[in-house]
Amino acid sequence: LRRNPGETEFHQAVREVLETLGPVLVKYPEFAEQKMIQRICEPERQIIFRVPWQDDRGQIQINRAFRVEFNSALGPYKGGMRFHPSVYLGIIKFLGFEQIFKNALTGLPIGGGKGGSDFDPKGKSDCEIMRFCQSLMTELYRHIGDHTDVPAGDIGVGEREVGYLFGQYKRITNRYESGVLTGKGLSWGGSRARREATGFGTIYFLEEMLKIRGDSLVGKTCVVSGSGNVAIYAIEKAKALGARVIACSDSNGVVVDRDGIDLGLLKQIKEVERRRLTAYVQEKTSATYLENGCIWSIPCQVALPCATQNELTAKDAKTLIEQGCIAVAEGANMPTTPEGIRVFQDAGIAFGPGKAANAGGVATSALEMQQNASRDSWTFDYTEQRLKTIMVAIHRRCHETSEEFGAPGNYVVGANIAGFLKVGHAMSAMGLI
Ligand code: NDP
C-alpha cells in the first residue's frame, strides 16, 4: 500500500488475488523464497507521457497517457488501451495486473500489459479523435512492437481509434507491422470474430458454468450492463443460445424492453450512429428508459456486468439473489466489488470472474497476431470455433484448479491460482527476472 499510494483499484485487484494464493505457497514453498508474489506485483516498466493535441476550435488540449508493461514471462505485453476521463495510474495498473493472469489462462504466448489516457472521447469529432490518437502514438510507437508490446482496444477505443493509432505507427516507423496492434479492421489485418470475441466468450464461459450444474441458457431471462462492444456481443450470443435479454444500460440510464432487446436497433444506434441509449426508446414503444436507474434492480436469472469496474455492489448482489438470479458472468474487468462477490459465493450461485470469463477478447487478439505472423486470414467459423475451444478449456482449467486447491466450483480461486502457477513457473525457469 505504501509503495503504491492512492492506487485504490490496483490495491483491490492485488488483494483479491493474494487472498487466494495461500494454498499455492504451501504446495510450492519455493515461490515464497523466490519472492514470486512481490515480483509479479511490480510492473516491469511503466510509461507515463504527455499527449498534446488541438481541438476543432484551435484550442490546445493536454492529456496524460499511460502504458504499463506488467509482465512478459509468457510473451510480449498484451492488453488494451482505455480512453476515459476516470483513467489514472491506479486503473491502468489494476487492469494490467488482471491481464497477466487472464492472458496466462488463455494458454497462448502473451504477457500482460495495459494502457490508456484520461482523454474523454464523448462529444469529440472524428478529426479530434484522429489528432489525439496520432499525438499519443507519436510517443507510444517507441515502446511497442509485435515482439515487445501489442496494444488493443478497451473502453472508448474501438476499430476507429485502433485505425488512427495503426496509421500513425506505420507512418512513423515506415513498417507495415500488422502484429503491433490488434482489433484492426478486416481489410487491414484484423481478425474475423475479434469484434464479437469478448462478449461471445463470456457467454461460452457462462454456458459451461451452467452445463456443469445440469442447466442451460435456454429460456433464461438476462440483463446486461453497458451497451458497448462487450455488452452488444454478449447479448447477441445469449439470444442465440436461447436466452431472453430484457435490459441493457449506459452511464446515464437503463433500457428495459419487454419484447427483448432488439439487437439490430442497438447496433445501429451504438455502432453506426454513435448515439446515446435514449435513442433506443424513441424508436421502440415496448421499451422504457430509467434515467440514472440501476440495472441490477431488474429481476433476472442471469446477470452480465459488461460496463466497468465496481459497478455491482453487495447491495446489488443481494437484490439479484433475492429476485432469483442463479448465475453471473463478468464481461467487464472487476465489475463486482469484493463484498458483492462474497454475497454471490455465499449464496452458492455460479460466478465467473472477469479474468476467466472475458478472456475471449484477448485470446482472439492472440489469434489475430497468429494470422498476421503467417500473413493469413481465417474464416469467421474457424476463428469462432477456436475461441469456443479456448473458453471451454479456460473453464475446465479454472474448475479443475479450484478442486485441486480445495475450493470446488470457486472460479475466483481457480482462475487466480491457475494463472499464477503458469506465470510463476515461467519466471522461475528464467532466473531472477
Ligand atoms: P465500450 O467503450 O465499447 O463500452 C463501455 C460501456 O460501458 C458503455 O456502455 C459505457 O457507457 C459503459 N461505461 C463505461 N464506463 C462507465 C462508467 N464509469 N459508469 C457506467 N457505465 C460505464 O467498452 P467495452 O465494451 O470494450 O468494455 C467494457 C468492459 O469490458 C470494460 O471493463 C473492459 O475493460 C472490459 N473488457 C473489454 C474487452 C474488449 O475486447 N473490448 C476485453 C476484456 C474486457 P457510456 O457510453 O455512457 O460511457
Residue 38: exposure state from Cβ atoms within 10 A (0-12, 13-18, ≥19): exposed
pLDDT in tens, 228-284: 999 999 999 999 999 999 999 999 999 999 999 999 999 999 999 999 999 999 999
Strand partners, 80: 152
Nearest CA to ligand 1 atom 27: 155
Residue 225 domain boundaries = 195-357
Q: Is 365 in the pocket of ligand 1 (CB under 6 A)?
A: no
- Contact, 234 vs 330, CB < 8 A? no
- Contact, 294 vs 212, CB < 8 A? no
Which residues are part of the catalytic machinery? 114
Q: Is 79 in the pocket of ligand 1 (CB under 6 A)?
A: no
In a domain, 205, yes or no: yes
pLDDT in tens, 30-52: 999 999 999 999 999 999 999 99
Q: Is 226 in the pocket of ligand 1 (CB under 6 A)?
A: yes
**Do 169 and 203 sit in the same domain of this protein?**
no
Residue 267: exposure state from Cβ atoms within 10 A (0-12, 13-18, ≥19): middle
Max CA separation in the chain (angstroms): 64
**Do 257 and 285 sit in the same domain of this protein?**
yes
Compute the distance from residue 83 Cα to the ligand 1 centre, in Å. Answer: 10
Element (H, E) at 60: strand 60-71
**Do 171 and 252 sit in the same domain of this protein?**
no
Q: What is the ipTM, given to two decimal places?
A: 0.99
In a domain, 347, yes or no: yes
Number of Cβ within a 10 Å radius of residue 420: 24
In a domain, 241, yes or no: yes
Q: Is 302 in the pocket of ligand 1 (CB under 6 A)?
A: no
What is the mean pLDDT of the segment spanning 274-301?
97
Please say which residue of 332, 357, 382 terminates a domain: 357
Q: Are strands 149-152 and 221-225 parallel, antiparallel or unpaired?
A: unpaired
The confidence score (pLDDT) of residue 414 equals 98
Q: Is 156 in the pocket of ligand 1 (CB under 6 A)?
A: yes
Q: Which CATH number goes with the domain that contains 75?
A: 3.40.50.10860
**Do 204 and 299 sit in the same domain of this protein?**
yes
Share of the chain above pLDDT 90, in %: 100
User: pTM of the prediction?
Assistant: 0.98
Q: Binding residue per annotation — 323?
A: no
**Do 117 and 263 sit in the same domain of this protein?**
no
Element (H, E) at 254: strand 253-257
Strand partners, 48: 66
The confidence score (pLDDT) of residue 196 equals 98
Please say which residue of 340, 357, 374 terminates a domain: 357
Q: Binding residue per annotation — 78?
A: yes
Number of Cβ within a 10 Å radius of residue 101: 26
Compute the distance from residue 22 Cα to the ligand 1 centre, in Å. Answer: 32
**Do 101 and 215 sit in the same domain of this protein?**
no
**Do 137 and 107 sit in the same domain of this protein?**
yes
What is the mean pLDDT of the segment spanning 308-331?
98
Is the pLDDT assigned to residue 341 strictly greater than 90?
yes
Give 2's pLDDT tier (boundaries 50, 70, 90).
Answer: confident
Nearest CA to ligand 1 atom 5: 228
Q: Which amino acid is at 69?
A: E
Q: Among 112, 193, 180, which Cα is nearest to 152's?
A: 180
Element (H, E) at 325: none
Please say which residue of 191, 207, 236 terminates a domain: 191
In a domain, 381, yes or no: no
**Do 127 and 241 sit in the same domain of this protein?**
no
In a domain, 142, yes or no: yes
Pocket test for ligand 1, best of 98, 230, 248 (most atoms within 8 A of CB): 230
3-state DSSP call for residue 415?
A: helix
In a domain, 160, yes or no: yes
The confidence score (pLDDT) of residue 9 equals 98
The confidence score (pLDDT) of residue 179 equals 98
Average pLDDT, the chain: 98
Q: Among 274, 214, 269, 207, which Cα is nearest to 234's?
A: 207
**Do 269 and 249 sit in the same domain of this protein?**
yes
The confidence score (pLDDT) of residue 129 equals 98
What is the mean pLDDT of the segment spanning 339-345?
98
For every residue of 174-214, DSSP letters joined together read: T---GGG-SS--GGGT--TTHHHHHHHHHHHHHHHHHHHTT
Neighbouring C-alpha atoms within 13 Å toward the C-beta of 191 = 31
Based on its alpha-carbon atoms, the radius of gyration of the chain, rounded to whole angstroms, reads: 21
**Do 320 and 230 sit in the same domain of this protein?**
yes
Q: Is 178 in the pocket of ligand 1 (CB under 6 A)?
A: no
**Do 253 and 216 sit in the same domain of this protein?**
yes
The confidence score (pLDDT) of residue 1 equals 79
pLDDT in tens, 139-168: 999 999 999 999 999 999 999 999 999 999
Compute the distance from residue 156 Cα to the ligand 1 centre, in Å. Answer: 7
pLDDT in tens, 177-202: 999 999 999 999 999 999 999 999 99
Element (H, E) at 1: none
pLDDT in tens, 209-228: 999 999 999 999 999 999 99
Is the pLDDT assigned to residue 345 strictly greater than 90?
yes
**Do 206 and 108 sit in the same domain of this protein?**
no
For every residue of 373-401, DSSP letters joined together read: HTT----HHHHHHHHHHHHHHHHHHHHHH
Number of domains in the chain: 2
DSSP 271: I
Strand partners, 151: 79
